[in-house]
Chain A
Amino acid sequence: MSTTAIPRGDLTPALLDKYEPVIGIECHVELKTATKMFCGCPNVFGGEPNTNVCPVCLALPGALPVPNAAAIDHLIRAGLAFGATIPVHSKFDRKNYFYPDMPKNYQISQYDLPLTQGGVVRYWLEDGSRAECRLTRIHLEEDTGKSTHASADGRLAGATSSLVDFNRAGVPLMECVGEPDLRSAAEAVGFLETLARTFRELGVSDVKMEEGSLRCDANVSIRLRGAADYGTKAEIKNMNSFRSVRRAIESEIARQINVLETGGRVIQETRGWDESAGVTHSQRSKEQAHDYRYFPDPDLVPIDVTAEYVEQVRATLTELPFERFVRYVDEFGIDSKRATQLVDDAPLAAWFDRAVTASQNPQATVAFVLGDLSRLANESGTPVAAGKVTPDALAELVKLTSSNAINSKAAKQVLETLWNEGGSATALVEREGLAQVSDRGAVEALVDQVLAANPKVVDDYRGGKTNVLGFLTGAVMKESRGKANPALAQELLKEKLGAG
């Protein structure tokens, strides 16, 4: 058992370059359904312990499971979103092992005939680069209850007693198994983030990490770069945030490099991630692995999925987060950071798309949407899509700005008024007389006025302190009560100062 922390600093770039990490992710995601997987209890988080239970999810003698059709539908939807195959025949199996928070002492899961097979998750990383990871399968199962152990560290070992809450027992869970296609912790996080976004978009899960509705394990191995065979893998468990996924994988890669570099051998085992210590520690070796004695659950009949049903579900799929990201970046020319911001707020993205359709100017639109509009939304606590500014009104504003009909200061003012009152941007500009003054003669008069009023500044400029131009431009804008075209004002100022 090795629990020594290995700081990343100990690993030289040469060492990190010598080895290639190979990572495969398995994650459990709680499905969003009205009821639990095999009984009529509400599928809700929390509650007083053992209040959201019935004979079925408590595994009372004689109780029988009945599958939740909505959960099966969600799984097929999730699979199709990633291009998975939906086999005609599927079934539920029992995974047998004893644990106090598992009421039946077997979990109803799927073994050799999962509801979805294959598929590819296309995702992007924080830096905007794109990658893909194949899925082995997504299958349906039920969640367990929660144990609380009365020991110093909350672990079963050493506990004098344990409390079990079965409220979560029987909540529908999908297990997504990814192929070992990931090559870094960053890729693992990118993969998981896109999985989570996609499940939210599909409405199959809320993916609330803080409520444990996404839990993931990572299989990590390393090999010499260029090697064909995989190294021996360790399975890392107990990572409950994307941050801990990144840290745990990085720490495990470092540990394995250290083991190999000191002449050791990585053993196949399960390792737990210790968030506070920042290390993984050995939990169980392969020799101690469970024999789950899988067999088809005789309480449940096989699931037959017709091609018609699959096509019905497929027809309801709309643009997915990855596709949206690609459209924003490739078609709209939005940078990946802002594209991600939009994609991660589906209602905002939908609102944005309507505004772009009206404005035909994605760049200017995104600047408003993620700039002043988001600021107003944050300040008021009302999401953009629920506010009074309509996509059409914003599109008008974009057009008014890009055609120089109003200047940016006025635009800000129009937007604030629209946010508070709604209505049309064009009408507002007219009503408030905010149209930008681009009439050369009118602006020239103001410029002359300002130059006459500031002889000292004019001398400074002519003496070489050209940075006073900003002050003078500001003075012109002030004289025009913000309506002068600032570019024109500056141009005229330069002209007159240079001529003097």
Chain B
Amino acid sequence: MDPITDSAREIAAAVNLREISAAEVAERLIPHVARLDRHIGAYLELTPALMRERAAIVDRRIAAGERLPLAGVPVAIKDNMCLTGTHTTAGSKILRDFIAPYTATVVQRLLDAGALPVGKTNLDEFAMGSSGENSALGVTRNPYDLDRVPGGSSAGSAAAVGGFEATLSFGSDTGGSIREPAAFCNVVGFKPTYGRVSRYGLIAFASSLDQIGPFARTVADAALAYDTIGGHDPLDATSVDRPLEPTADGLREDLHGVRVGIVKEFALANLADAGVRACYESAYRELAALGAELVEVELPTADYGLATYYLIAPAECSSNLARFDGVRYGLRVDGDDVGEMYERTRAAGFGPEVKRRILIGTYALSSGYYDAYYLKAQKARTRVAEDFARAFERCDVIASPAAASPAFGFKAKSDPVAMYLMDYYTIPVSLAGLPALSVPCGAVIPEGGTRPMPMGLQLATPLFTERALLGYAHAYERATRHAERLAPVEIAAA
């Protein structure tokens, strides 16, 4: 029994059977994470006191005869989710000193299920970014090459699980913020259908796209995590009020009878890097080898995804982030009048990418531009969703790259648009609200790199078919075992 490397299922089983106490799990994790995280930087705040407190509660509950789905499982929480008494910063200077006075629904469900919070993880400021570099509060390194980014925006959550600093972690995905970093950090990253998981207590970036989901080292663990956090929440009006189909008992071993759609517009021939191309070609062959029938499907609007997303998401964020004004909480920089206070506070509190998106979004919603930009983007979004619906008439699941490259070096994408392109494959899926995940599918030694870096295969299925999606991913993972072939960089005990 090793609470650092074992799966969440194994830890929960052992704690429920009292083979190991939650307190022992906590005491193993606390020094281990403290040592590792000096190098990886996955966490903005470690919460050892809370972890011990929760472990004591779990042990009491187990002793009283309860069985808890995540008994003693160490979890990491992206720092845009509220947890009472912890800093909840969204990776921004404007919330650097904000301590949440309430707990997000997802986090509460995790605590109730017996999970132990290791800490709050780093992210691109307000979840805006694809490398983690937009965090104003810390640097997170890729556990598979410390000179490379972990991906983003859920940078710390991906790095924590990939680097064995937590068993499960939770991130939010707006245009790819779970799937892309999962691919970069050799873990499974799962974004459920929009509306499946409560957003109450998640600091909003783009409300119509944001969705919380788990990171795990196995599909089975991702399924367990999803079954724990999913389901209707009366505190979130967009959360869907229909029964949650359990996924953990729907995992399958083969893909016989499954039609896998390969998107014509996402032709692998377009990939610049031969190694990346070969990796995905091999992944598709592996799907076929498992019994799947590969069919070509068309997503004619796929190329408009990025432009559509970069109108809708900034429009929503320009409004969502208006509340950070220095009046009630967070950073305040005084001025001669309230207008000047707003300006100074927001100028000092927000980083350049956040400001860029607020400006774009404000413009897109302005009188005289609304129809040309925001409204048109909404229409395009509908078309993208219709394209997917048509494609799913011909297939059960769509497979594609999760990202066009493995993890890149720090400061490699200084042009914002080059960074935006990292989400080329994930954004259309987000616009359609579909459930999707990234599952490890091999490794590539990047140009200029020395170590093989993990790659991720994106699988997406129709709305509310999480059970089928996780089943397919499980079959692929069990047959290929790509994640197990890579190990994080050795971090010397010091």
A residues at B contact (CB < 8 Å): 55, 58-67, 94, 96, 98, 100, 103-106, 156, 162, 164, 291, 293-295, 298-301
Which residues does chain B contribute within 8 Å of A105, judged by CB atoms?
322-323, 325
Would you list which residues of chain B between 349 and 393 have a CB under 8 Å from chain A?
362, 365-367, 370, 374
13 A-B interface contacts by CB (under 8 A): A61-B82, A61-B98, A61-B203, A62-B104, A62-B203, A63-B201, A67-B237, A96-B318, A103-B327, A106-B319, A162-B338, A294-B365, A301-B237
| Option from B88, B237, B323 in Cβ contact (under 8 Å) with A65 | B237
Which residues does chain A contribute within 8 Å of B316, judged by CB atoms?
298
Which residues does chain A contribute within 8 Å of B339, judged by CB atoms?
98
In the complex, the answer to whether A295 meets B374 with C-beta atoms within 8 Å is yes
Which A residue's beta carbon lies closest to that of B239?
A: A64
- Using A60-B101, A62-B202, A164-B327 as known contacts, say yes or no to A293 and B88 having CB atoms under 8 A apart: no
Alpha-carbon gap, A320 to B394, bound state (A): 59
Closest Cβ of chain B to A73, distance in Å, is: 17
In the complex, the answer to whether A64 meets B236 with C-beta atoms within 8 Å is yes
Interface size on B, residues (CB 8 A): 45
> Which of B161-169, B204-212, B221-229 lies at the interface?
B204-212
Which A residue's beta carbon lies closest to that of B336?
A: A160
Q: Mark B88-132, 1 if CB is under 8 A from A, else 0.
A: 101000010010111010000000000000000000000000000
- Using A67-B237, A295-B370, A299-B237 as known contacts, say yes or no to A59 and B315 having CB atoms under 8 A apart: no
Which residues does chain B contribute within 8 Å of A106, judged by CB atoms?
319, 322
Alpha-carbon gap, A162 to B334, bound state (A): 13
In the complex, the answer to whether B208 meets A98 with C-beta atoms within 8 Å is no
Would you list which residues of chain B between 306 and 350 have a CB under 8 Å from chain A?
315-316, 318-319, 322-325, 327-329, 338-339, 342
Which A residue's beta carbon lies closest to that of B365?
A: A293
Which A residue's beta carbon lies closest to that of B104?
A: A62
Q: B34 an interface residue at 8 Å Cβ cutoff?
A: no
In the complex, the answer to whether B101 meets A98 with C-beta atoms within 8 Å is no
- Using A61-B82, A106-B322, A299-B237 as known contacts, say yes or no to A156 and B200 having CB atoms under 8 A apart: no
Q: B199 an interface residue at 8 Å Cβ cutoff?
A: yes
Which residues does chain A contribute within 8 Å of B101, judged by CB atoms?
55, 60
Closest Cβ of chain A to B402, distance in Å, is: 25
Q: B238 an interface residue at 8 Å Cβ cutoff?
A: yes
Which residues does chain B contribute within 8 Å of A96, judged by CB atoms?
318-319, 322, 365
Which residues does chain B contribute within 8 Å of A60, judged by CB atoms?
82, 100-102, 328-329
Which residues does chain A contribute within 8 Å of B370, judged by CB atoms?
293, 295
Q: Which of A58, A65, A98, A298 has the most CB of B within 10 A?
A: A298
Closest 10 CB pairs of A and B: A105-B322, A298-B208, A298-B207, A293-B365, A61-B203, A62-B201, A59-B323, A291-B367, A62-B203, A66-B237
Q: B267 an interface residue at 8 Å Cβ cutoff?
A: no
Which B residue's beta carbon lies closest to that of A166?
A: B328
Which residues does chain B contribute within 8 Å of A67, judged by CB atoms?
237
In the complex, the answer to whether A61 meets B237 with C-beta atoms within 8 Å is no
Q: A96-B319, A298-B207 are in contact. List 20 more A-B contacts (CB 8 A).
A: A55-B102, A59-B328, A60-B100, A61-B82, A61-B95, A61-B100, A62-B201, A64-B237, A64-B238, A65-B237, A100-B338, A103-B327, A104-B322, A105-B322, A106-B319, A295-B319, A295-B365, A295-B374, A300-B238, A301-B237
Alpha-carbon gap, A48 to B207, bound state (A): 33
Which residues does chain A contribute within 8 Å of B199, judged by CB atoms?
62, 64
In the complex, the answer to whether A300 meets B237 with C-beta atoms within 8 Å is yes
Alpha-carbon gap, A61 to B103, bound state (A): 11
Which B residue's beta carbon lies closest to that of A295?
A: B365
Which B residue's beta carbon lies closest to that of A299?
A: B207
Which B residue's beta carbon lies closest to that of A105?
A: B322
Where chain B touches its partner, the secondary structure class is: loop
Q: B255 an interface residue at 8 Å Cβ cutoff?
A: no
Q: B449 an interface residue at 8 Å Cβ cutoff?
A: no
Closest Cβ of chain A to B37, distance in Å, is: 24
Which residues does chain B contribute within 8 Å of A300, judged by CB atoms?
237-238
Closest Cβ of chain B to A70, distance in Å, is: 15
Q: B491 an interface residue at 8 Å Cβ cutoff?
A: no
Which residues does chain B contribute within 8 Å of A298, judged by CB atoms?
206-208, 238, 316
Alpha-carbon gap, A294 to B375, bound state (A): 12
Which residues does chain A contribute within 8 Å of B201, judged by CB atoms?
62-63
Alpha-carbon gap, A64 to B197, bound state (A): 14
Q: B295 an interface residue at 8 Å Cβ cutoff?
A: no
| Option from B200, B208, B238, B327 in Cβ contact (under 8 Å) with A62 | B200
Alpha-carbon gap, A301 to B207, bound state (A): 11
Which residues does chain A contribute within 8 Å of B324, judged by CB atoms?
61
Which residues does chain A contribute within 8 Å of B80, judged by CB atoms?
61-62
In the complex, the answer to whether A103 meets B323 with C-beta atoms within 8 Å is yes
Q: B234 an interface residue at 8 Å Cβ cutoff?
A: yes
Which residues does chain B contribute within 8 Å of A301, judged by CB atoms?
237-238
Alpha-carbon gap, A441 to B208, bound state (A): 94
Alpha-carbon gap, A400 to B350, bound state (A): 83
In the complex, the answer to whether A64 meets B200 with C-beta atoms within 8 Å is yes
Closest Cβ of chain A to B396, distance in Å, is: 28
Alpha-carbon gap, A105 to B338, bound state (A): 13
In the complex, the answer to whether A103 meets B338 with C-beta atoms within 8 Å is no
Which residues does chain B contribute within 8 Å of A94, judged by CB atoms?
319
Q: B75 an interface residue at 8 Å Cβ cutoff?
A: no
Alpha-carbon gap, A64 to B259, bound state (A): 39
Q: B235 an interface residue at 8 Å Cβ cutoff?
A: yes
Which residues does chain A contribute within 8 Å of B236, judged by CB atoms?
64, 66
Which residues does chain B contribute within 8 Å of A55, judged by CB atoms?
101-102
Which B residue's beta carbon lies closest to that of A158?
A: B337
Closest Cβ of chain A to B170, distance in Å, is: 13
- Using A96-B365, A298-B206 as known contacts, say yes or no to A61 and B88 having CB atoms under 8 A apart: yes
- Using A61-B203, A67-B237, A98-B342 as known contacts, say yes or no to A103 and B328 having CB atoms under 8 A apart: yes
Would you list which residues of chain B between 205 and 251 have a CB under 8 Å from chain A?
206-208, 234-238
Alpha-carbon gap, A261 to B462, bound state (A): 70
Q: B459 an interface residue at 8 Å Cβ cutoff?
A: no
Q: Which of A55, A67, A100, A293 has the most CB of B within 10 A?
A: A293
Which B residue's beta carbon lies closest to that of A289?
A: B367
Q: B81 an interface residue at 8 Å Cβ cutoff?
A: yes
Which residues does chain A contribute within 8 Å of B238, judged by CB atoms?
64, 298-301
Closest Cβ of chain B to A459, distance in Å, is: 90
Which B residue's beta carbon lies closest to that of A61?
A: B203
Alpha-carbon gap, A61 to B102, bound state (A): 10
Which residues does chain B contribute within 8 Å of A98, judged by CB atoms?
322, 325, 339, 342
Which B residue's beta carbon lies closest to that of A147?
A: B338
Q: Which of B81, B327, B362 has the most CB of A within 10 A?
A: B327
